Amino acid sequence: MSVSGKLLDVQHVTVEFHIGGLMGGTLLTAVNDVSFSLDNDKPEILTLAGESGSGKTTLSRVLLRDLEPTRGKVLFEGRDLSAIRKRSEFNEFMKKVQPVFQNPFETFSPLRRVDAYLFDTAVNFGMASNRRGAVKVVDDALHNVGLSLDEVRQRYPHELSGGQIQRVSVARALISKPKLILADEPVSMVDASLRMEIVNLFQKLRDEQNVSVIYITHDLATAYYISDRIGIMLRGYVVESGPVEDVLERPAHPYTQLLKESVPEPAPKERESWAKHIALGTTEVKEYGRIGCKFAGRCPHVMDICRKADPPDVQVGQQTVKCYLYSEDAEKSAAGTGH
Amino acid sequence: MISIVRDLLKYDGRFRLAVIFLGGVAAMILLSYNSPYDPGKSFVVPWDLPPSQQYIFGTTSRGQDLFWWLTFAVRNSLFLGVLTAIISRVIAILVGLTAGYRGGWLDRVLMSLNDTFVVLPLLPILILLGFLLRERMSLFYLAVILGLFGWPFDARLIRSQVLSLKERSFTRTAIYSGSSGFWITIHEHLPFVLPIVFATTINNILWSIGMEVTLSILGLSDLTTPTLGTALFWANQHGALVAGIWWWIAAPALVTIVLFLGLYLFFTSINEFIDPRTRLRLIGG
Amino acid sequence: MALLSVKNLHAYYQTEVYGISRTVRAVDGVSFDLFPNEIYGVAGESSCGKTTLIKVISGSIKPPLKALEGSVNYTFGDYSVDMLRASQDELRQNVRWKEISYVMQGSMSVLNPVRRVIATFRDIVDTHEGITDKQKFLEQTRAHVNRLGLPTDVLDAYPHQLSGGMRQRVAIALATVFQPSLIIADEPTTALDVVVQRGVLQMIKEIQAISSNTVLLVTHDMAVHANVADRLMIMYAGRIAEEGPTETIFNEPLHPYTQHLIRSLPMIGERSTKVSLEGAPPNLAHPPTGCRFHPRCPYVMDVCRTEVPELVTVKERHRVACHLVKEDSL
């Protein structure tokens, strides 16, 4: 059935939203022509990084079949997600693709005990026929994240720390033995002293359980720490992608460069240069509606052509960069502008 | 359960007062089963006697002991209110949860039905039904009719609550745990909706008892059944105020006030207790 | 002369619901001084007491929060205020906005969404000083905004027209109209994107440099502290774990908790394995005995379980509360 040996194959996915009333209103392209794939036999951690409004969360909802793409398609193990119609098919899909959400205190209902979700998952996905039979499945999943059933049995979310709940959340996702986990900002609301254990957990899952992880974040430092590949998103586009060392150590796209430079280094080494004056836009910039490169309004290397048409994807070393700086058409037109 | 009641008695003045008021009402209801007089019969006692030791609330111009007669009235009125509330709560919960969780065309259909009921002029319809049913109009039918009209505002309230619950992460967790929509509605959303149901129950009971009073005064309910409304109807018929038989009006009014206050205090107190935020504080959140 | 002197402050939340009473010891024996002309950082995880500390020193103590013990004294030139005793009227008239101003996360609540930015400026200036000369007010406001490096046309915009970063900077401009002696910035950049965060923090640094006042910067983000704060306080479970100049804290941390916080920060270009501490921050309704960090500390000793370590000065301006350090220096 699987044609390509690909676990996940995202092909030219575009998501448009109508904003405003029946009449008028604007079309907002939240995700724009995004393509990437994950290999079936080589589990990896892929980061989708971007700031608010970059479309990373919308994309994650498409991958979870929570949202239909306007154009393009997503194949999971060779099967088009839009072909999933029946409840049983959706269950089969969910067994293999599981989410981990951002806010640990919202992941589980404050009025229910957290272990109930683990048992529900085990029973619903046929990992056990009843609650009693699920004890071992649940306990195993909890052991994978460094907890045990005794620690979480009968506990309400507020009785656990953010780090513990987030581990329970990962354990819940692991119960059905998935092949892919989508983690949307899983550590941004977890305390610093507990954060790295969650991050390390994803690495462990990749290495020991052969689970691929799509890690969605705005935090480039943890992205660098755990991921194999990274895609930098800006206003719906993936503007730069490639192995994480290449993209973050030698960013090619001017936007990635700006992002990397803006991340404060956690050491008082470059205090003076980091706090030097940078220009910020005054008003809400309408970058979505802009024709051509969305970064043109802020780019220090902007050329005329950047405002005319979408930049092509150019291979620069190991990275793929959506920028005219590295394309041949630009060199031709740049000769005329003298910029 | 017992410890909850004990805590409420100890720490909530409203609850204590509610227990006293409702205790009085409950005592009257129990006494009605031991009444020395049949409420359907008249001229069993001397008429037009003011309140005294023998006749606590006095007697009516129809020769009935007002106290014993009112024990039946409060029982019947409360029965009407509770039955109305049960019928309309069931509809409101079903419609609100379904419309909120399922969304789409079902939501649109249910909400247009909902809005239709909201804009229907209830009192003229009730008066019309009162005329049409006339002989067959009983307390039970009235409760059913009021129940069928009493749900739309609350259904909308429940729906809006569910709409916001649906957007919270834990609903998505439940979905990706393989739970069905119906299951999520019952286990994840209902606990958050119950406080609304409780808060609106009291309103609904009071509204229904009030409606019955209105219809009775117009002479459109089953006048042979003693209720708080028919008490006032008969008092009016006999020109009680003009004749100076003030207790015929005052006694049902007093019982009504005690009943309403008792129910109101009871429900506000319970409501605060079952509010998820209070519960969270209690379990140490 | 200290601008603010906090001594042995104990601030607890005391609640009673249906007979179950709870005491959360959010701030438990905190002493520190703030001096003029510095950026003082407060770092700590969720529920370490930093928010409560801000509430107390900004004078917004409302039940169930109670300041049970200690003192909070301000000295603004020759005017001094005892925060725990001052009346709300005095605070409103003489202290808030004029001497102490407050910038918080997501500034929309300060700006009125249906009025232009200038109207909010007018309201605040009018309530505190009264506007007699409209033209003069406009000129002064424009000059103020200009001095902070913002274009004057933001004054004529509605809040929703401004970008998130600009809104936050307008909120800072608003907080500094009266040139306050102390600006309390509570997680001012937490919800902002990194590029915008950098711009906002850079503005805070510039304002501080221009007016030589004091900024109290509260954030959980150690990387922000590393680049902005002059001095840094690390709070853990309602107490000060360590306090000192930022460079000292980062280069020679002495408290095991601080050491862990700094070592666990991931960094682009460096991939050594980072680990988390065992356990979780304690529930302040039932804090551990002795040193509150002892259940998670890798160097725990017997004395840590029973005795509360005192905050001792190890070097100039460097204070640590840890039994390990005490033993070394004795």
Q: How far apart are the first and last CA of chain C?
A: 30
Q: Please check the confidence at residue B110 and state whether its pLDDT lies above 90.
A: yes
Residue B285, pLDDT score: 45
pLDDT 10s digits, C54-113: 999 988 888 888 999 999 999 998 899 999 988 888 888 889 888 999 888 776 678 888
pLDDT per position as a tens digit, A6-61: 999 999 999 998 876 666 667 788 899 999 999 988 999 999 999 888 899 999 99
Q: What is residue A336's predicted lDDT score, i.e. its pLDDT?
A: 46
**Contact status of B192 with chain A (Cβ, < 8 Å):** yes
Residue ranges of E strands in chain C: 4-17, 20-34, 38-43, 65-76, 79-82, 100-104, 182-186, 214-218, 231-236, 239-245, 312-315, 318-320
Partner-chain residue, chosen from B7, B281, B284, that has the shortest CB–CB distance to C19: B7
Q: Which chains border C (3 or more CB–CB pairs < 8 Å)?
A: A, B
Q: Which of C259, C148, C146 is nearest to C208 (CA)?
A: C148
pLDDT of residue A189: 84
Yes or no: say if A221 and A230 are a contact pair by the CB < 8 Å rule: no
Reading the block at residue B247, the tokens are 């207790």
- Confirm if B228 and B73 have CB atoms less than 8 A apart: yes
Calculate mean pLDDT across residues A303-325. Answer: 90
Does residue C141 register a pLDDT over 50? yes
Banded pLDDT at A280 (limits 50, 70, 90): low
* pLDDT-above-70 percentage for chain C: 97
Nearest to A110 among B174, B179, B285 (CB): B285
Q: How much is the average pLDDT of C112-138?
A: 89
Percent of chain A having pLDDT more than 90? 55
> pLDDT tens-digit profile of B130-144?
888 877 788 898 999
Q: Do C19 and B273 touch (CB under 8 A)?
A: no
Task: Give me the pLDDT at residue B218, please.
Answer: 85
Fold category of A42-61+85-232 in CATH: Rossmann fold (3.40.50)
pLDDT tens per residue across span C6-38: 999 999 998 877 777 888 899 999 999 999 999
**pLDDT digits over B243-252, tens only?**
888 999 999 9
Contacts with C131 (C-beta within 8 Å, 6 or more apart), sequence order: C122, C125, C137
ipTM for the complex shown: 0.86
Q: What angle do CA C311, C314, C317 make, to 5 degrees?
A: 85
- Domains in chain C, CATH or no CATH each: 33-55+90-329 (3.40.50.300)
What pLDDT is recorded for position A26?
Answer: 74
CATH 3.40.50.300 segments of chain A: 42-61+85-232
| Confidence category of residue A92, pLDDT binned at 50, 70, 90 | very high
d(CA B245, CA C13): 59
Tell me the residues of chain C between 159 and 218 that have a Cβ less than 8 Å away from chain A: 160-163, 165-166, 169, 193-199, 201-202, 205-206
Cα–Cα distance measured from residue B87 to residue B98, given in angstroms and rounded to the nearest whole number = 17
Q: What is the pLDDT of residue A24?
A: 64
Structure tokens at B192: 């958050």
Angle at A86 between CA A85 and CA A91, to 5 degrees: 110
Nearest-Cα distance to chain A for B18, in Å, is 28
Instruction: Provide the mean pLDDT of chain A.
Output: 87
B186 at A interface, C-beta within 8 A: no
The count of CB pairs under 8 A between chains A and C is 159
The alpha-carbon gap from A326 to the nearest alpha carbon of chain B, in Å, equals 42
Residues A94-120: what's their mean pLDDT?
Answer: 92
What the block records as the tokens of A185 is 């900002």
Which pLDDT value is given to residue A287? 65
- To the nearest whole Å, the CA of C51 is away from the closest chain B CA by 18
**Conformation bin of residue A154: beta by default, left when phi > 0, alpha when psi is -120 to 50:** left
Instruction: Return the CATH number of the domain spanning residue range B2-282.
Output: 1.10.3720.10
What is the pLDDT at residue C284? 87
Taking residue A90's Cβ as centre, other Cβ atoms within 10 Å add up to 15
Span B7-13, mean pLDDT?
80
| Distance (Å) from the alpha carbon of B115 to chain A's nearest alpha carbon | 22
pLDDT of residue B127: 86
Among all residues of chain B, which has the CA nearest to that of A108?
B170
| C270 vs C215, residue with greater confidence | C215
pLDDT range class, residue A277, cuts 50, 70, 90: low
Q: What is the mean pLDDT of chain B?
A: 88
Give DSSP secondary structure letters for B62-109: TS-BHHHHHHHHHHHHHHHHHHHHHHHHHHHHHHHHHHHHH-HHHHHH
**Subunits close to B (at least 3 CB pairs below 8 A):** A, C
pLDDT higher than 80, residue B281: no
| Average pLDDT estimate for C138-143 | 92
Residues B239-244 have a mean pLDDT of: 85
> What is the model's pLDDT at position B162?
93
**Structure tokens belonging to residue C223:** 């990387």
Nearest residue, CB atoms, B280 vs list A98, A110, A169: A110
CB-nearest to C163 from A218, A277, A282 is A282
Rounded CA gap, C234 and C254, in Å? Answer: 11
The residue written with tokens 């409950």 in the block is: B26
Could you report the per-residue pLDDT of B91-103, keeping only the tens digit for each?
Answer: 999 999 999 988 8
The chain C residue lying nearest B9, using CA atoms, is C18
Q: Which chains touch A (3 or more CB pairs under 8 A)?
A: B, C
Nearest-CB residue to B10 (from C17, C19, C285) = C19
Inter-chain residue contact A161 with C281, CB threshold 8 Å: yes
Full-model pTM:
0.85
A154 touches B at CB < 8 Å: no
**Residue C271 to residue A52, Cβ atoms within 8 A:** no
CB nearest A266 (choices: C196, C222, C296): C222
Of C196, C198, C145, give the one whose Cα is nearest residue C172. Answer: C145
C25 to chain B nearest CA, in Å? Answer: 15
| DSSP-H helix ranges across A47-191 | 56-63, 87-96, 104-107, 114-124, 131-144, 149-152, 162-174
Separation of alpha carbons A109 and A103, rounded Å: 12
| Cβ–Cβ below 8 Å for A121 and B188 | no
Which chain C residues have a beta carbon less than 8 Å from that of A191?
A: 45-46, 220, 280-281
For the segment C39-55, the average pLDDT, to the nearest whole number, is 90
pLDDT tens by residue, A240-262: 999 999 999 999 999 999 999 88
Chain C: closest CA distance from residue A72 (Å) = 29
What pLDDT sits at residue C285?
86
Which candidate, B271, B266, B262, places its Cα nearest to that of B193?
B271
Is residue C330 pLDDT above 50, yes or no? no
**Band (B37; pLDDT cuts 50, 70, 90):** confident
C286 in A contact zone (CB under 8 Å)? no
pLDDT at C60: 86
Q: What are phi and psi of C106, to 5 degrees?
A: 60, 95
- Cross-chain Cβ contact C275/A282 below 8 Å: no
Q: Which helix (H) or strand (E) holds C221?
A: none
pLDDT at B174 (0 to 100): 95
